[in-house]
């Protein structure tokens, strides 16, 4: 007896044989599309180990599971962003999205247009069978007008997407359409996509006889026949005419094929021109050179911390609130104080900012708590010191000025009223002094100097170091002068008071 | 290429420290969508990742961001996203995909007040239960909660290490206050930072089954491009990764996903106890509320009252055993959290009627007033 012989089919290499038979219905167009992709991959010369296929949910979504490649069957509609992550994290991969029209254009529509816009280098094969096959043939974003589906029983009233037009409008450099009755052209298109650097989109019109065909009087053969008979193949098809009606011609061909730098190419260009390696300072502009690593604070050996001789010892946490108008640099003042206390004085400091829409203008405040011991609750509830730089801010935060506390103000801009008993007011014409130095904008630094002279909780050395590390390069001289001016004014005031 | 660990002492916000921690842990891919109060993490990553050869991408929404970090993880990168409130709600479906496909990644949720748009700029702690079971289906997850910028740095590294070790998305439950407050942050030298990496396949392609686990219930993880022809699906799958739509397959897979966390919860759960021995009343807290509890402990001490504090470093898995044990010995647990009772219910469940359990909670927008918490303590103490 002669044993029946089984021969390996050339495509078996690309198929997970153990997963066959597939779940697709007889007469479904999906097999032809998958077959064309295998042909295209086979003759692409690509290292197939580096090819990944991603799909969403639905009949088409199962394709990723039949190919013997890295395959990702993701959530409904999310194949494109998943593929984006794969490609960007490993640019050596060729990433193909193989999914359906409902998946890609309805729930995933936003991802589709954005991936096309940013031109991320993935290859999208959208199999369009005009309905949701797997879930029983409901209408979708590509269902032709008047077509019947399980959710458009009276005929679809909506206008479908012209996907070709849409994706081209988003700027994709490669856009083509074929039907599953055109295996040869499909293969050519897929081959071109695999070579393309950028977002490429192929719409394949395919029959779903089980659902769409049955309800629209086009069973297996009829649908394919329609595709063959009504397909219009043009060398330079007009995108605007790519709409598909229930009974219209189906315009096929390559609609867009141009060169446009892909996302990764563009990203590399931008980065290589601009990225400098700089040290981390928190907001990134200038290195904070002298910042020591405190050994006690753990596993961090590094430079032993030099605790300044004049490090203030603070028995009880001191609460400071700074208020002003957006743009006055109140936040920066607080930041410098915090850095000075926490990094250079080796005390503890917590800085918070009042976050409200007003932070972008209008009165705003920031707060600092300084202590020698751990600070628990991060919020300033009863300020010991208020620094106020504008009348609007005074009006807003006046309620926080407590009896017995200290109020530091810009004399020219703030007129305190209804002060509680025993508030010690200390005033400086900060804005005027700043103008004399050269620029009104450093009024906040004048106040900072004034504060340093009067308030014992942060050392002068620490404040100077923090100031130097916190201002933009090129403005050091101006800022240091502003600081000194405020500091001297405060010292003189103290001496006069002492007399 | 730039340095990924910028050793030194800084005055940082929790969000900035979180980004620094991610880089130190080896994160090289960030996909996100801006949302207050988490945006500074994305802003920082967008500057820093290109300096260390990583990629930052701003996606069209949070759904896409979550999908992208899963894809990136399967391409071999340590990946992360950060969001808040409505954003985390949108990410949940794909967090489920991450659980089902055992994809290591880190999701930062800088909690704000909710529900819905709620309080975009103000604090909340009401996404605790959502972190655990927000996605559909049955699963276990890991969530951590820092209470200072320093911990935001440390715990972000820890989150990556846990994600890589247990192959599960790890959620960093920060809150707005920790995200925005500035404090001293010490970034150690690179050699002093412990970094865990996923275990790659020990067998060649062909024989290897990508979801076959070893004794510890954690499968080895090949990634795309290595020649393993991985098949990764959110459908219930067998050890080869192929869809298997049967109850037996579901039982085998989902029970392993749950057990790999539950059976190892002793290794994952982490909490800190202060003054618990000998205390009659123990405060339970996490995140920023922990610090309020510390202030309350000091107020109590001044009045001669000994108050314990059990502070959750890792929220999920919950230190169930320890809470049960303590419940038999103390008079009361008082849970302090910025919601109307999420961890409080967990404490109550574990205490199982063996001691008094109370919640001191509110709806968000601010931290607790320590005085109010202390009043609740006094009420129980008397
Ligand atoms: S339902 Fe339609 S799309 Fe799905 S396999 Fe059957 S014929 Fe194909």
CA separation for the pair B293, B307 (Å, rounded): 10
Question: How big is chain A, counted in residues?
Answer: 499
Which residues have any ligand 1 atom within 6 Å of their CB? A 24-25, 28, 30, 59, 129, 133-134, 208-211
Residues B147, B176: contact at Cβ < 8 Å?
Answer: no
Q: Determine how many CB atoms are found less than 10 A away from the CB of residue A21.
A: 5
pLDDT in tens, A345-377: 999 999 998 865 544 567 889 999 999 999 999
User: B112: pLDDT confidence band, cut at 50, 70 and 90?
Assistant: very high
Span A24-52, average pLDDT: 95
Q: Are B70 and A82 in contact (CB under 8 A)?
A: yes
Residues 37-56 of B with CB under 8 A from A: 37, 44, 47-48, 50-51, 55
- Determine contact, residues A283/A343, Cβ cutoff 8 Å: no
Separation of CA A208 from chain center: 38
Count CB atoms within 10 A of the CB of residue A374: 11
With helix as H, strand as E and coil as C, how does A380-446 read? CCCCCEEEECCHHHHHHHHHHCCCCCEEEEECCCCCCCCCCCCCEEEEECHHHHHHHHCCHHHHHHH
Across the range A66-72, mean pLDDT stands at 96
Q: What is the model's pTM? A: 0.94
pLDDT tens digits, one per residue of B329-382: 999 999 999 999 999 999 999 999 999 999 999 999 999 999 999 999 999 998
For residue A460, CA distances in Å to A34, A399, B316 come to 73, 30, 46
CB-based burial of residue B280 (10 Å sphere; 0-12 exposed, 13-18 middle, 19+ buried)? Answer: middle
Report whether B177 contacts A380 (CB < 8 A). Answer: no
Q: Tell me if A156 sits within 8 A of A144, measured CB to CB.
A: yes
Note the pLDDT of residue A4.
Answer: 66
ipTM over 0.90: yes
Residue A180 three-state SS? coil
Per-position DSSP letters for B104-157, written without gaps between them: -EEEEEEEEE-STT-EEEEE----HHHHHH-SSSS---EEE--SSHHHHHHHHH
Nearest Cα neighbor of A53 from A17, A85, A88, A83 is A83
Residues 6+ apart with CB under 8 A from A12: none
Check A351 against B65: CB less than 8 A apart: no
Res A321 pLDDT > 70: yes
Q: Which of A46, A50, A85 should be substituted to probe chain B, the one whose Cβ sees the most B Cβ atoms within 10 Å?
A: A85
Between positions 364 and 403 of A, the ones with CB within 8 A of B are 374, 376-379
DSSP state of A328: S
Mean pLDDT, residues B277-298: 97
- Specify whether the CB–CB gap between B136 and B199 falls below 8 A: no
CA separation, residue A249 to residues A114, A166, A226, A244, B130 (Å):
29, 19, 9, 7, 51
What is the arithmetic mean of pLDDT over B167-175? 98
Rounded average pLDDT over A244-272? 92
Q: Which residue of A has its CA nearest to B120?
A: A356
pLDDT score, position A302: 46
Q: What per-residue confidence (pLDDT) applies to A17? A: 87
Of A68, A297, A302, the CB nearest to B229: A68
Q: What is the pLDDT of residue A7?
A: 66
Query: How many other CB atoms are found less than 10 A from the CB of residue A139?
Result: 25
Q: Are A415 and A391 in contact (CB under 8 A)?
A: yes
List pLDDT tens digits, range A194-241: 999 999 999 999 999 999 999 988 776 777 888 888 899 988 899 989
Average predicted confidence (pLDDT) for chain A: 89
CB-side exposure of A219: number of CA atoms within 13 Å?
1
pLDDT reading at A283 higher than 50: no
Residue A301 pLDDT class (50, 70, 90 cuts): very low
What would the two tokens of residue B213 be? 């686990």
Q: Which of A85, A292, A299 sits opposite B79 (nearest CB)?
A: A85
The pLDDT tens digits of the residues spanning A408-430 come to: 999 999 999 889 889 999 999 99
Residue B53's φ and ψ, nearest 5 degrees, are 80, 15
B142 DSSP β-pair partners: B170
* Beta-ladder partners of A49: none
A209 C-alpha vs ligand 1 centroid, how far in Å?
7
- Which atom of ligand 1 is least distant from the CA of A209? 7
- Residues B237-269 pLDDT 10s: 999 999 999 999 999 999 999 999 999 999 999
The Cα A159–Cα A144 span in angstroms is 7
For residues B203 and A268, the model is more confident at B203
């Amino acid at each position: 007896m002669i044993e029946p012989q089984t021969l390996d089919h050339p495509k078996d290499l690309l198929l997970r044989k153990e997963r066959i038979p597939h779940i697709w219905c007889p007469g479904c167009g999906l097999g032809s599309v998958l077959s064309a992709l295998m042909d295209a991959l086979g003759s692409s010369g690509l290292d197939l180990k580096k090819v990944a296929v991603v799909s969403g949910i639905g009949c088409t979504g199962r394709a990723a599971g039949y190919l013997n490649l890295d395959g990702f069957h993701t959530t409904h509609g999310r194949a494109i962003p998943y593929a984006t992550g794969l490609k960007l994290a490993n640019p050596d991969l060729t990433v193909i999205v193989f999914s359906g029209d409902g998946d890609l254009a309805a729930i995933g529509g936003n991802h589709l247009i954005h991936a096309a816009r940013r031109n991320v280098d993935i290859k999208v094969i959208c199999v369009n069978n005009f309905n949701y096959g797997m879930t029983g043939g409901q209408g979708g974003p590509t269902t032709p007008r008047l077509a019947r589906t399980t959710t458009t029983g009276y005929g679809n009233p909506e206008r479908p997407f012209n996907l070709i037009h849409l994706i081209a409008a988003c700027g994709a450099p490669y856009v083509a359409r074929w039907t599953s009755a055109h295996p040869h052209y499909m293969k050519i298109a897929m081959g071109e996509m695999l070579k393309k650097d950028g977002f490429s989109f192929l719409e394949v019109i395919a029959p779903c006889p089980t659902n769409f065909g049955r309800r629209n009087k086009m069973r297996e053969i009829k649908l394919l026949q329609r595709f063959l008979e009504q397909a219009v193949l043009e060398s330079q098809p007009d995108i605007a005419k790519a709409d598909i009606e229930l009974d219209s011609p189906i315009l096929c061909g390559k609609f867009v094929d141009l060169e446009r730098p892909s996302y990764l190419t563009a990203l590399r260009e931008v980065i290589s021109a601009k990225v400098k390696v700089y040290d981390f300072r928190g907001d990134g502009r200038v290195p904070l050179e002298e910042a020591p690593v405190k050994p006690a604070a753990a596993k961090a050996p590094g430079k032993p911390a030099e605790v300044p001789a004049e490090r203030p010892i603070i028995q009880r946490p001191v609460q400071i609130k700074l208020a002003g108008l957006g743009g006055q640099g109140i936040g920066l003042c607080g930041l410098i104080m915090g850095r000075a206390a926490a990094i250079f004085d080796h005390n503890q400091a917590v800085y918070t900012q009042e976050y409200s829409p007003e932070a972008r203008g209008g009165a705003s405040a920031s707060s600092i708590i300084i202590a020698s011991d751990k600070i628990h609750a991060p919020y300033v509830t009863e300020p010991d010191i208020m620094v106020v730089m504008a009348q609007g801010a005074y009006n807003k935060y006046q309620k926080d000025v407590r009896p017995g506390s200290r109020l530091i103000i810009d004399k020219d801009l703030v007129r305190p009223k209804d002060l509680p008993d025993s508030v010690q007011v200390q005033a400086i014409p900060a804005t005027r002094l700043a103008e004399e130095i050269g620029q009104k904008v450093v009024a906040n630094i004048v106040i900072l100097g004034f504060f340093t002279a009067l308030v014992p909780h942060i050392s002068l050395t620490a404040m100077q170091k923090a100031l130097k590390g916190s201002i933009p390069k090129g403005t050091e001289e101006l800022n240091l002068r502003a600081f000194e001016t405020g500091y001297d004014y405060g010292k003189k005031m103290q001496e006069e008071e002492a007399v | 290429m730039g340095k990924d660990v910028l050793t030194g002492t800084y005055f940082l916000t929790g969000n900035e420290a979180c980004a620094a921690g991610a880089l130190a842990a080896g994160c090289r891919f960030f996909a996100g969508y801006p949302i207050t109060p988490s945006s500074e993490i994305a802003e920082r990553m967008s500057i820093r990742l290109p300096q260390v050869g990583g990629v930052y991408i701003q996606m069209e929404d949070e759904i896409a961001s979550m999908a992208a970090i899963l894809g990136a993880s399967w391409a071999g990168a340590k990946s992360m996203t950060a969001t808040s409130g409505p954003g985390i709600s949108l990410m949940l479906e794909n967090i489920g995909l991450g659980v089902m496909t055992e994809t290591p990644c880190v999701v930062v949720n800088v909690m704000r007040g909710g529900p819905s748009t709620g309080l975009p700029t103000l604090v909340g702690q009401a996404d605790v239960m959502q972190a655990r079971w927000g996605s559909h289906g049955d699963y276990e997850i890991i969530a951590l909660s820092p209470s200072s910028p320093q911990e935001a740095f440390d715990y972000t590294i820890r989150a990556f290490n846990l994600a890589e070790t247990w192959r599960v998305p790890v959620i960093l439950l920060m809150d707005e206050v920790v995200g925005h407050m500035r404090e001293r942050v010490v970034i150690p030298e690179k050699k002093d930072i412990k970094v865990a990496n996923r275990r790659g396949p020990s067998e060649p392609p062909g024989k290897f089954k990508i979801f076959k686990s070893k004794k510890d219930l954690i499968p080895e993880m090949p990634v795309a491009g290595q020649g393993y022809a991985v098949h990764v699906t959110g459908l219930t799958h067998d050890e080869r990764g192929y869809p298997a739509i049967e109850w037996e397959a579901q039982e085998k897979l989902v029970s392993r996903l749950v057990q790999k966390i539950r059976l190892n919860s002793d290794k994952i759960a982490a909490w800190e106890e202060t003054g618990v021995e000998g205390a009659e009343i123990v405060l339970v807290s996490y995140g920023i509320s922990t610090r309020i509890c510390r202030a309350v402990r000091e107020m109590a001490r001044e009045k001669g009252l000994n108050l314990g504090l059990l502070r959750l470093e890792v929220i999920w898995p919950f230190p169930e055993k320890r809470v049960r044990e303590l419940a038999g010995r103390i008079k009361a647990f008082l849970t302090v959290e910025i919601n109307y009772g999420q961890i409080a219910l967990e404490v109550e469940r574990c205490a199982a009627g063996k001691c008094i359990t109370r919640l001191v909670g509110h709806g968000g927008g601010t931290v607790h007033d320590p005085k109010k918490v202390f009043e609740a303590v006094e009420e129980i103490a008397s």
